[in-house]
Structure 1
Amino acid sequence: MRLRSGDPETIGGYPLEGRLGAGGMGTVYLARTASGRRVAIKLIHQQFADDEEFRTRFRQEVSAARRVSGAFTAAVVDADPEGAHPWMATAYIEGATLSERITSGGPLGGAELRTLAVGLAEALRDIHRVGVVHRDLKPSNVVLSAEGPRVIDFGISRAADHQTLTMTGRVIGTPPFMSPEQLQAPRDVGPESDVFSLATLLVFAATGQGPFDADSPYLTAYQVVHEEPRLSAVPAELRAVVEPCLAKDPGARPSTDELLAQLLALPEDFGAGAGGAAGGAVDSATQVLGGGAGDLSRSQPDQVGPRTGSRTLTGIGPGLRRRWRSVLAAALAVAAVAGGVAWLGPDRGAGTQNTAQGGGPASPSTGKPLPEGFAPWETSVRGGKGIPDELRCVPRGADLYCGGGGVVATRLRAADGKRLWTVRSPGVPANGMHFVGVTGTGTGMSTGGGTGTGGEPVSGAAASRGEGPRAAASGGEGPGAAAAGGVTVVGYRIPAESAPEQVVALTEAGKERWSAPLGGESTLLTGRTQSAVLYRGDVLSVDPAGTRIEARRAGGDGSVRWSRPFPPGTQCVPYAPNPRAARLYALCASAAEVESVQVTRPTLRVLDPADGRLGEPVQLTGRWRPVGEADGKLVLAEERMEGLDFAGYSAVALFDPRTGKVAEHPLRGADGGAVTVDEGADPTVVAGALHFVERSGQVYCVDPASGRVRWSRQTGVEWASAPVASDGVLYFGSASGRVAALGAREGELRWSSPPRVESPGSEMGATARVVVAGRAVIASAGGNTVFGFDAERPPSEG
C-alpha cells in the first residue's frame, strides 16, 4: 500500500516505503535500514501519546518484547516508547498467520501439526523463562514463516516483576483463547494461563474450531470458565497432551517444559488426515504488524518482530537460571508489532566474487595460501530435530569442526565444504549454546590464525605468545591433552527428554569418546552459555548437582582428573579467556544472589588447572562479566542497566592475577567524555583491544587498560557478531551471512559482503561467526549454513 498524503517520510531515521496496515491504535509502515534490511515500523496514533495509561502499556509492551528470545519468537530492531510520537520497529517477515492458514487450507495434521505444536511450546518456554506471560496467544498472533512458527504481539504481556496494567474500559484478551483465571482475575494470571491458551490454539489448528466456541464472546467466556472442552475431533495422541492443559485449576496444568517434552514424544505423522483438509498450502502473503497496544485491523496479513537482548530475570526458576543467557542471547520478539523474522535478502551463490566492497580499499594480500583445491563454497548442516541453530566453527589442519545446538559436531573440508561426518543432538537447540572446541595433536592446526582451539578469538600477537592455534599445533596442551595422534572434538548434546545437557567428546572420525552431564550457572555468572570450558586439554564443568567444578581429560575416557567443591554458601563456574590463556578462573556468587538471579557482588578467583585449588576471592561490585585476556590480565566489562533491563556497557576493568588488584575505568571517548555502548554482540578482546559491537553494527575499539575508545566505525552489518582478528584485519559476521572486514588499527572498512540466507537471526551476545584458515574466510549463518570464500576476493553485491 502506498504512502498517503500526511504520512511521514521517515520515522526514527528510517525512510518509509509504504503502508502495511492501520487500526485504531496506530499505523504500520514498511521501511528500510541503512544496510537495506526491510523493517516494519508501528507508529502510535498521536492522540494516544498523551494518554499516560496507554503510554505505560506501550512501554511495558516494548520492555516485555526485549526480554524474550528463542527460535520461535521474534526480535525488535529499534523503538522509542518515550518519544513525543512513540514508535517501534521490527524485522519484516513474509508468511500467513495461523488463522489465515486454517481459513484458506483447513485444519493441520501430521508433521505440519507436530512442527507447529513443538515450535509454539518452545516459544512459550522461552517467554516464561525470562519472566514474561504473553496473555494473548491466539491464531492471529502466530505467523507461519518458512523457518517455523513465530509468536508475535506482546501488547498485553506481563513481566513477572511488573504490575499488570488493566486498561480502563477495554477488553484485554480474546475470549476463545483466554484461560478461566484470565477472564475472572486478569491481574493474577501466570504462565499457566499461557499453557491453557496454547492448548486451545492447538485444538483450533487440528480441528478448525476452538474447544469452547459459542455464538457470542459472552457465551464463549462462560464456557471457558464453567464447561468442559469439546475435544472429540482432536487426534487421540494430541488430545492426551492438551486435555490436562485445559484444566480449570491452573495448578493442575503441566509446565511448558513438561508440555514440550510430551509434544516432542509425539510421532511425526500423528493424526495425519484426522483434522479435515490438513496440510493445505501456506499463503505467502506479506505480514503486517499486529495490534500490540490495541488491535490494528488486519486488512493485510500480520507482521512479525525481532529479538532484542535483555537479561531481566526476576522470578525465574532454576531451569532457566542455568541457561538464562542462552535464552536471552538473541533476543527476539517485540511486541504488538509482531514476531518478525528478518528476511534480509536473496540467497546469493558462493561464486560471485570481487576485489573490494563498501567503498574502502581492497583487502591487502595476506601472503598466506588458500587451502589446497579451494573454491568458494556453501553448505548447510541440519540438527537432530531439523530445527536450525547457528553453528560455530574451528579450523584444524585441512578441515573445520563445527557445532552448536542441534549439532554436537560436524567435520567439513575447508577447501570445498564437503561434510565428512555429523553427530546430531536429539533435543531442541538452545540459543547461544554453540561449540566447546578441539584439542589434541593428531592433524595439526590450520596456519590461518584468527581463532583459538576452542573457537575463542585471539590476536596474531596472542598466537605468537603461545595462546592461540599455532601453540595448540605444537602440542604441550597440558595434563588433559588427548593421547598422541588423537584429536578430540568437544561439543554439547541436548537430550530429547528433560535431562541435563551433556558435554560430549568425539574422535576426529566422529566416534564418541565419552560424555558427561552438565550443571552450573554459567550464563548467569559469565554472561555466556558456556557450560563446558576447554583449557589446555582439559574439559572443565560443574557437576549436575551444582556443587563442584570438575576437570576431565578431553582425550581418553574422560575420567575426572580433579574435583573441587565450591566455597561454602556460593556457586561457581570455571572461565577461560581462551583454551591457551595465561590463567584459568572461577566466577562465584552467593547462593542467595544466584537464587534471586540478581548477581551484583560476584567474586573472582584464580583457579589452579593442576588440581582445582581456588585462589583468594576478589570482590567485585556491580554487574561485571569476563570478556577476554590482555597482557596476561583478565578483562571485564560492566553491564549497564535501565531499570531492570540490560542495556549495554559502561566501564571496563583489568584484573591482575599476580597482584590480585582490579583497576576499573569508565568508557570514555577521545575527548574524555563518557561513552555508553548499547547492547549487541559478545564483547571480545582481539588484536590487543576490547571490541564492543552494537546491534546496529557500530563497533567500538577500546583500550582495556584505560577505557578510552581508540576508534568507532559502522560496519553496515546489523546484529553483527563479535569479531575475529587475523593479520591486522577484523572480521564480523551476521546470521544473514553478511561479513565485514575492518582494519584492526584504525577501523577503516576494507569490504563488506551481501547477505546470502534468509534468517531470523538477531542474536544478542553473539559470539564470533567467522574463522580464518590461511587466506580462506569461513563464516556461519542462519539455518546452520556455513560458507567459505577467499579473503582477497570477497562476495560482491550483484
Structure 2
Amino acid sequence: MSLRSGDPEEIGGYPLEARLGAGGMGTVFLGRTASGRPVAIKLIHQQFADDDEFRTRFRQEVAAARRVSGAFTAAVVDADPEGPHPWMATSFIEGPTLAQRIARRGPIGGAELRSLAIGLAEALRDIHRADVVHRDLKPSNVVLSPEGPRVIDFGISRAADQQTLTMTGRVIGTPPFMSPEQLQNPRGVGPSSDVFSLATLLVYASTGQGPFDADSPYMTAYQVVHEPPALGDVPHALRTAVEPCLTKDPAARPSIDELLVRLRDLPTELEVVTGGCRTRDTRTEHHLSGAGDTGGGHGAGSGQDTGGGHGTGGGHGTGGGHGAGAGHGAGEPGLASPTPAHRPARRRRRRPVLAAVAAVAVIGAGLALLAQPSGGGSDSERDDKERNVAATSPALPDGFRPWRQDVPAGKAKIPDEVRCLAHGDSVYCGGGGTVAARVRVADGKRLWAVAGPGVPVQDTSIAGLAGDGRTVVGYRFAAEGSGRDEVVALDVARGKELWSAPMGAHATVVAGAGAQDAVVVGSTVLTIDADGTRIEARNARSGKNLWTAPFPAGSQCAPLGAGGQAYVMCMPKGQVADGAARRDTVRGVDLASGELGRAVTVGGPVQPLGAAGGRLVLVRQRAGGDVGVLEYDAVLRLDAARGKATTTRLSKAYGGRPRLVGGTVYFTEDSGRVSAVDPASGGLRWARHTGVEGAASPAAGPGALYFGSAGGRVAALAPRDGRRLWTTDPKVNGGGLRTNPRVTLAGRVAVVSGADNLLFAFDTAKPPKSE
C-alpha cells in the first residue's frame, strides 16, 4: 500500500516507497538502500519507544536477529534500537507466508511438504546453533522464498544465555503453536520448545489445521497443556516423524538433529489432505502483492493483536514477521510473560572440539581457512546480443551439456553440502557424509564414491589433492559412539583406499570454523594427532609417517597450508577454556624435517586467508557491536623466513566471511553484499550486492567472481568493479551459511554445490536464464 499522510519520507537514510503493514506495536515500510536493494524497515510506535521495558525487548530482538541473520532468516541490514524512534531494516524476502500459502491453496503434500519440513528443521538447527531460541514459530513467521523457507520475527526470541526480560501479566506467543512449558512455565523454555512448535507447524502445513485447534485461544492453550494432539489427517510417514515431538515432557522430545534425520527419510509421495482448507490455486505472490490482504505480504494481521486465534494468514507485518508487534500486541489477557530459556542442547553428533568453540564464540566463530589456490581473471566480455558474459577462452569438455548430480549421503543418510576440487577431466567432492566422490565434468557421471559412516560436519568437506595428481585426501567421521575420526587417502582412478589414520579435531578452535583438520601441501598431509598434542606429517600416497612435531609447551595448534608452504598456528590452551584475550602465534614449518621456525606473534584473534607475494595473509578479527557478530579491521602479511608481520588497518571494519582471491580480500556478508578490499592499502576497491542471500565466499574463474547459495543460485561479478554480469535462479530449497566457496571452476564449466548434496554444472559463457 502507498505511503500515507504523516508517514516519514525516510528512516535511517533509507528512502521509503510503500507501507507494508501497521498494527499495535508499529509500522513496516518498504525502503531502498543506496544501491537500490529493497529492505523492510520496522519502525516502533512512539509510545513504545518511550517504554524502557519494550525498548529493552526490541534491543534483544535486534541482537537475536543479527546472531542468525541471513542463514534461514531475513538478514539484518541496519538498525537503531537506541534512537528516538527505534527501527530495524532487514532484507526484503520475496514470497508468501506459510499462512497465506495454506489459506489460498490448501494443505501441502508430496515433495513440497518434504522440502518444507527439512528446510524448517535446518533453519531451526542453525538458529539453535547460534544459541537463540525463537519461541514464536507459527505460519505467519515462515516465508516461502524462492530459495526455501525463511523464519522471521525474532521479537520474543532471545539468546539462551541471556538474562530474560520479565514482562508482568502475560506470556507472549501464539497458543496454537506454543509448547506446554511455554504456557505453564516460561522460565523453563529451551530449544525443545521450538521443536514442539515446529511439529505443530508441520501438522498445520499438511492438514490446514493445528493439532490443538479449538474455538478460543484459551481452550487451545488448555488442549496444548492437557490433551493429546489430533493427528488423524496427518500423512502416516510425517506423523511418525513428528508425533514424538509433541509429547508434553520437553526432555522426551527428540533433538532438532534427530528430527532432521527422520524428516530426511520422508518419502516424496506424501499425500495432500483436501478436507481441512480451501484448495484454490494461485500464483506465488511477492511481498507487495499480498500487502493489501488481511495478513498478506509484509502486511498486518496474525490475529494476535486483537485477542488471539490463528488470524487469517499472518503476514510479515504487524502481528507476524517483519512487522512491528511480532504477533504479540495488546489483547491477550490472561497469558503471562516470557522468562529465561535454558542453553540449547548441543548437536547430537558433533566433533568434540566444537563444544570448545562455543566458549570462544565471539573470538573464534565463523572463520574460513585456506581453501583452494587463489586465482584471478580478466573482466567480462559481451556476447553477440550485447549481454555481459564471462570470458570464454577456456575450452569446454567434448560433448559437454549442463547436468545435475546428487552425491551419496553416506551411511548416516544425512546430506548436507559437498565441496569440490577440479583436476583433469573430473571434480573430486567430499562432505555431506561422503569421504570423496569423483564426478566427470563433461556429463556429470559419478565414476566412484566412498561413503562415510558418521554424521557430516558443517563446512568440513575435502582436504585436498596431492601434488602427484593421483591422490585425493578426505575425512571419515566415525559413527556416533564408535571409533575415531580419520583422514583418508584415496586413489583418484578408482577410489581405492590407500591408507587412513586417526586425527584430532582441534583446528577450528585455533583457526576458525572453516579450518581443515588435514592440510595437503604438495605430497605431504599434515594433521593433528588423535590426542591433540602434536602435528603429524605423512606421505600423501603411501601414508608413511614422515615426522611429528610436538606443540609448543602450553599451546594448542593447527596446521596451515598456503602458497605451497606449511605453517602452524598456535594459541595458549588457557585461552580456549576462558575466552581470554588471544595472543596467536604463527611459525613456518620445514616440510622435510618438521622443524618449526621462529614464532611470530600476530595478536588475535586472526584468520588466515592464503598467500600473496610469498607471504601468509591473515585478517584481524574483533567482536562487533552485537553478541556473536564478528568484524575484521586489519590485514596482516607474515614473512615466516624473516619472522616479521606487517599490519595494515582497513579503512573501516567489515563483517561477513573474508576470502583472498587474486590478491584482493573479499568480505561476503549474509545479505549477499560483497566488499573488495586492497590488502596492501586497506582501502575499499568496490562494494556491490550479489543478489544471492547467504552467499558463500567467491571462487575465481573465467573473467568473473562466482558466488553461490545453498539453494543453487549463482551470481557472476566482474572482478574489476563488481558489476553483476548475471544471476541464475535457485535449483532447490536450501539455506545456511558457509565459509568455503560453493562454486568450483573446471575450465569454463561451473560446478555448483547446493543443499542435500546437490551438484550441478553449466557453461559460464551460457549461464541458465533467470526466469
Supply the distance in 2 between the matched residues of 1:753 and 1:193 (Cα, whole angstroms): 45
Partner of 1:540: 526
Alpha carbons of structure 1 residues 666 and 76: separation in structure 2 relative to 1, 3 Å = same
Match of 1:657 among 640, 643, 648: 640
3-state DSSP of counterpart to 1:164: coil
Residue 687 of structure 2 corresponds to residue 702 of structure 1: no
Residue 726 of structure 2 corresponds to residue 754 of structure 1: yes
Q: Please state how far the C-alpha of 1:156 moved relative to its aligned partner.
A: 0.8
Match of 2:717 among 725, 734, 740: 740
Aligned ranges 1:117-266 → 2 under 5 Å:
117-168=117-168, 171-231=171-231, 238=238, 241-264=241-264, 266=265
Which residue type is aligned with residue 397 of structure 1?
G
Contact 1:26-1:43 at 8 Å conserved across structures: yes
Match of 2:658 among 682, 685, 709: 682
Question: Percent identical across equivalent pairs?
Answer: 48
Alpha carbons of structure 1 residues 230 and 772: separation in structure 2 relative to 1, 3 Å = closer
Partner of 1:585: 568
Which residue type is aligned with residue 726 of structure 2?
P
Contact 1:533-1:541 at 8 Å conserved across structures: yes
Contact 2:506-2:558 at 8 Å conserved across structures: yes
Q: Please state how far the C-alpha of 1:536 moved relative to its aligned partner.
A: 1.7
Contact 2:597-2:640 at 8 Å conserved across structures: no
Residue 263 of structure 2 corresponds to residue 286 of structure 1: no
Q: Please state how far the C-alpha of 1:740 moved relative to its aligned partner.
A: 1.9
Alpha carbons of structure 1 residues 208 and 738: separation in structure 2 relative to 1, 3 Å = closer
3-state DSSP of counterpart to 2:24: coil
Contact 1:323-1:523 at 8 Å conserved across structures: yes
Q: Please state how far the C-alpha of 1:172 moved relative to its aligned partner.
A: 0.9
3-state DSSP of counterpart to 2:156: coil
Partner of 1:28: 28
Supply the distance in 1 between the matched residues of 2:668 and 2:608 (Cα, whole angstroms): 16
Residue 660 of structure 2 corresponds to residue 713 of structure 1: no
Which residue type is aligned with residue 268 of structure 1?
P
Alpha carbons of structure 1 residues 758 and 369: separation in structure 2 relative to 1, 3 Å = closer
Q: Please state how far the C-alpha of 1:158 moved relative to its aligned partner.
A: 1.1
Contact 2:96-2:285 at 8 Å conserved across structures: yes
Contact 1:630-1:685 at 8 Å conserved across structures: no
Aligned ranges 1:99-114 → 2 under 5 Å:
99-104=99-104, 107=107, 112-114=112-114
Supply the distance in 1 between the matched residues of 2:123 and 2:581 (Cα, whole angstroms): 26
Q: Please state how far the C-alpha of 1:60 moved relative to its aligned partner.
A: 1.6
Aligned ranges 1:325-724 → 2 under 5 Å:
353=383, 370-371=395-396, 378-384=402-408, 393-401=420-428, 405=432, 419=445, 421=447, 423=449, 432-433=459-460, 435-442=462-469, 487-491=470-474, 505-509=489-493, 511-513=495-497, 519-531=504-516, 532-542=518-528, 549-555=535-541, 570-578=555-563, 580=564, 582-590=565-573, 593-595=575-577, 600-610=582-592, 621-641=603-623, 642-667=625-650, 675-684=651-660, 686-687=662-663, 690-692=665-667, 697=673, 699-704=675-680, 708-717=681-690, 722=697
3-state DSSP of counterpart to 2:48: helix
Supply the distance in 2 between the matched residues of 1:302 and 1:118 (Cα, whole angstroms): 22
Q: Please state how far the C-alpha of 1:132 moved relative to its aligned partner.
A: 0.8
Contact 1:70-1:328 at 8 Å conserved across structures: no
Aligned residues: 697
Which residue type is aligned with residue 218 of structure 1?
Y
3-state DSSP of counterpart to 1:125: helix
Per-residue CA deviation, residues 396-442 of structure 1 (Å, 9 max, x unaligned), is 3355445554776665666x665564749788876544543333445
Partner of 2:334: none
Contact 1:405-1:425 at 8 Å conserved across structures: no
Contact 2:648-2:679 at 8 Å conserved across structures: no
Supply the distance in 2 between the matched residues of 1:189 and 1:432 (Cα, whole angstroms): 30
Alpha carbons of structure 1 residues 765 and 384: separation in structure 2 relative to 1, 3 Å = closer
Q: Please state how far the C-alpha of 1:15 moved relative to its aligned partner.
A: 4.8
| Structure 1 unmatched runs, 5+ | 306-312, 332-349, 443-486, 668-674
Which residue type is aligned with residue 197 of structure 1?
S
Which residue type is aligned with residue 757 of structure 1?
D
| Structure 2 unmatched runs, 5+ | 288-296, 323-341, 369-379
Alpha carbons of structure 1 residues 598 and 104: separation in structure 2 relative to 1, 3 Å = farther
Which residue type is aligned with residue 495 of structure 2?
K
Which residue type is aligned with residue 764 of structure 2?
F
Alpha carbons of structure 1 residues 408 and 598: separation in structure 2 relative to 1, 3 Å = farther
Q: Please state how far the C-alpha of 1:133 moved relative to its aligned partner.
A: 0.8
Supply the distance in 1 between the matched residues of 2:315 and 2:88 (Cα, whole angstroms): 15
Q: Please state how far the C-alpha of 1:48 moved relative to its aligned partner.
A: 3.3
Q: Please state how far the C-alpha of 1:135 moved relative to its aligned partner.
A: 0.9
Supply the distance in 2 between the matched residues of 1:370 and 1:167 (Cα, whole angstroms): 65
Q: Please state how far the C-alpha of 1:142 moved relative to its aligned partner.
A: 2.8
Partner of 1:75: 75
Contact 2:698-2:705 at 8 Å conserved across structures: yes
Supply the distance in 2 between the matched residues of 1:107 and 1:564 (Cα, whole angstroms): 61
Which residue type is aligned with residue 259 of structure 2?
L
Q: Please state how far the C-alpha of 1:245 moved relative to its aligned partner.
A: 3.3
Per-residue CA deviation, residues 14-71 of structure 1 (Å, 9 max, x unaligned), is 5544443332223333455566654433333344333333232222212212222686
Alpha carbons of structure 1 residues 291 and 588: separation in structure 2 relative to 1, 3 Å = farther
3-state DSSP of counterpart to 1:218: helix
Alpha carbons of structure 1 residues 503 and 77: separation in structure 2 relative to 1, 3 Å = farther
Alpha carbons of structure 1 residues 538 and 356: separation in structure 2 relative to 1, 3 Å = farther
Contact 1:521-1:572 at 8 Å conserved across structures: yes
Q: Please state how far the C-alpha of 1:684 moved relative to its aligned partner.
A: 1.8
Contact 1:422-1:510 at 8 Å conserved across structures: yes
Q: Please state how far the C-alpha of 1:739 moved relative to its aligned partner.
A: 1.7
Q: Please state how far the C-alpha of 1:194 moved relative to its aligned partner.
A: 1.8
Partner of 2:764: 789
Contact 1:692-1:700 at 8 Å conserved across structures: yes
Q: Please state how far the C-alpha of 1:134 moved relative to its aligned partner.
A: 0.9
Alpha carbons of structure 1 residues 159 and 419: separation in structure 2 relative to 1, 3 Å = same
Supply the distance in 1 between the matched residues of 2:228 and 2:204 (Cα, whole angstroms): 16
Q: Please state how far the C-alpha of 1:713 moved relative to its aligned partner.
A: 1.7
**RMSD over equivalenced CA pairs, Å:** 5.0
Which residue type is aligned with residue 576 of structure 2?
V
Q: State the TM-score, normalized to the length of structure 2.
A: 0.74
Supply the distance in 2 between the matched residues of 1:330 and 1:108 (Cα, whole angstroms): 38
Contact 1:724-1:731 at 8 Å conserved across structures: yes
Supply the distance in 1 between the matched residues of 2:313 and 2:622 (Cα, whole angstroms): 39
Which residue type is aligned with residue 675 of structure 2?
V
Q: Please state how far the C-alpha of 1:83 moved relative to its aligned partner.
A: 4.1
Which residue type is aligned with residue 724 of structure 2?
S
Supply the distance in 2 between the matched residues of 1:777 and 1:86 (Cα, whole angstroms): 47
Contact 2:71-2:735 at 8 Å conserved across structures: no
Contact 2:742-2:754 at 8 Å conserved across structures: no
